[in-house]
Amino acid sequence: MFKSMKFSSVCSITLFTYFIFMLPTLIYLTLSNKIILLEWEILSNSSYSITFPLILDPISVSFSCVVCLISACVMFFTSSYMSADPFLTRFVWLVMLFVLSMNILVFVPSIISLLLGWDGLGIVSFALVVYYQNMKSLAAGMVTALANRIGDVLLLISIAICANEANWNMMLIWENSMFPWLCLCILVGAMTKSAQIPFSAWLPAAMAAPTPVSALVHSSTLVTAGIFILIRFYYLLTTWPLFNFLALFIGTITLLMAGIGANHEHDLKKIIALSTLSQLGVMMLSLGLGAWNLTLFHLYTHALFKALLFLCAGAIIHNNNNVQDIRSFGALAPQMPLTISCLNIANLALCGAPFLSGFYSKDLILETCLYNPTNCIALILIFLATGMTAAYSIRLSLVTLWQESSNFPLTQNSDEDWVVTTPIIILTLAAITGGLVLQTMFFYFNESIYLPLTHKLLTIFVTLAGAWIALNIWKLKITKNPNGSLMNSFFSTMWFLSMITTQPNMIKPFMWAKTMTKSIDQGWLEVLGGKGTLNLATKTSTMTQILQSKYINTMISMMLLTAASVIFLMY
């Protein structure tokens, strides 16, 4: 056990060292505005060569730095959080493979080579979701794997379309007769990874994984892979007329659905997962508005404060005997002052509170919605969902801060473990200063948007209105909806999306598969196939043996007797 904890700490130090060494490269590429393209020739013949290209540019290096910083904090947190796990070493190897797959996805500009990182994320995420070996984890893992398989198939179709031009470098793809289909495959494939509607059911289901996995999957790796691919292909996709409309529409609906669902949820990890889903909707709609730079900016800031939120939630769950229901918490601030303070900083960053990291990116995206010619209904829904974000964040803070203690008897909460609190403190500093540092470092994260004062203050007003509504509902104690309410079931299951995309759609195919198995595989194929052939061969062999053993002997005897009689008569 001690060796496993030590191995986890070594991996954490390795990732942090990588982050430190990549920072000078990032600063150099950003200030010089250069892109370095490396190509490794694996195999070459007279007509064609197989190469593995790598691209080093400010986007890929900065994304890799963010991923490795968060991974280092998560791995260090894991060494204490999962110290009693007998398979900790296996878990650490899986997480390191997950980080490696993400880095391959980031640094490779070829669609064929991209498949290594893309498939790697899907396979390793399945292994991590089913890490706790029970039926709930297995069901969640199957939903996750099947949703990701759709994206894998669409990426393979994209590779086949690009094969017409014998070019798979995403920077050199040009328009052709199949171009709209290529754009559609890339868009829908990215939607499956980033859990956009109608592929959203797997994201809350993946909460069956250990909390450190949730901190990685739902902050900086799997769910952001789809958004990152769209940013990579952005200049290609914008030449397709339908892209901006589809991205805006899908992002808005996802944002609204996740915001409503989070306000009806009581599972701590699922609330944070749904908040991730709503922020992914914000990123998608900002792509629809043509602001790819703000999408990348919000992706970075969101990764920092969302990883912090998950680590704080993990510390709370770990201290409360693995209970995740927020109704079982209460009065945690005096017992865990550091963890709860950091949790509330992350919540305020999620709401877009001024001068925290979320404010710099989210406020710019919402101002872009007001500045650009945006559909009026979409605009209303976006700001409604922004108010809901504030509502569920404040609800979470109220439950942990001022609710009466509902813990189990003899529950001891503390945040004195420095192995747990160190990564939380590092991510808290990043969540406070990250937005300002990134905006100062990257010039394309700065936007000058001129709006009337009323429009400028609209975002803060909507956020405060959402917080006020949440506070009043909490005071009136109406947070518990009547059990069995159809509306409650509709909103808490993401508009029945969890049921529509999983159980009902699977029952019929499973029944058909069972019927086909019994009638064809275990029926006619057995009669006409292997078993039937065996029976026929066995019967034929038996008949031959009978003939050989009885009738043939009798016939030979008769023939010999006849021959003897003929010879006797002749003489």
Q: Which of 419, 416, 210, 415 is nearest to 316 (CA)?
A: 415
User: Which SS3 state, helix, strand or coil, does residue 484 take?
Assistant: coil
φ and ψ of 41, to 5 deg: -85, 110
Q: Convert the pLDDT of each residue in 334-362 to its tens digit.
A: 778 888 889 889 988 988 888 888 888 88
The DSSP H or E segment spanning 24 is helix 2-32
User: How confident is the model over 7-30, as a mean pLDDT?
Assistant: 88
117/298 Cα distance (integer angstroms): 23
| Burial category of 411 from C-beta neighbours within 10 Å (exposed 0-12, middle 13-18, buried 19 and up) | middle
Give percent of the chain above pLDDT 90: 7
Reply yes or no on whether the pLDDT at 477 is more than 60.
no
Q: In the prediction, which pLDDT does 173 show? A: 73
| DSSP code of residue 354 | T
CB 267 within 8 A of CB 180: no
Q: Convert the pLDDT of each residue in 394-423 to its tens digit.
A: 888 887 777 766 666 666 677 777 888 888
Q: In the prediction, which pLDDT does 463 show? A: 86
Q: In the prediction, which pLDDT does 547 show? A: 66
The lowest-confidence range among 96-100, 172-176, 263-267 is 172-176
Reply yes or no on whether the pLDDT at 510 is more than 80.
no
Q: Supply the pTM of this predicted model.
A: 0.83
531/503 Cα distance (integer angstroms): 35
Reply yes or no on whether the pLDDT at 483 is more than 60.
no
Reply yes or no on whether the pLDDT at 288 is more than 80.
yes
Counted residue by residue, the chain has a size of 571
Q: In the prediction, which pLDDT does 411 show? A: 63
Q: In the prediction, which pLDDT does 556 show? A: 74
Question: Whose structure tokens read 């999306």?
Answer: 497
Q: In the prediction, which pLDDT does 484 show? A: 54
| Cis previous bond, 198, omega within 30 | yes
The DSSP H or E segment spanning 153 is helix 135-162
User: How confident is the model over 183-195, as a mean pLDDT?
Assistant: 89
> Which residues does 22 contact at the CB level (< 8 Å), separation at least 6?
61, 64, 65, 68
CA dihedral 205, 207, 209, 215 (to 10 degrees): 140
Q: In the prediction, which pLDDT does 429 show? A: 92
User: How confident is the model over 275-297, as a mean pLDDT?
Assistant: 89
Confidence of residue 482 (pLDDT cuts 50, 70, 90): very low
252/278 Cα distance (integer angstroms): 9
Q: Convert the pLDDT of each residue in 112-140 to its tens digit.
A: 888 888 888 888 888 888 888 888 788 88
Reply yes or no on whether the pLDDT at 219 is more than 60.
yes
Q: In the prediction, which pLDDT does 549 show? A: 67
DSSP H helices in 34-87: 58-81
User: How confident is the model over 283-294, as a mean pLDDT?
Assistant: 89
Q: 3-class secondary structure for 452-474?
A: CHHHHHHHHHHHHHHHHHHHHHH
Q: In the prediction, which pLDDT does 428 show? A: 92
Confidence of residue 479 (pLDDT cuts 50, 70, 90): very low
Q: Convert the pLDDT of each residue in 363-383 to its tens digit.
A: 888 888 888 887 888 888 888
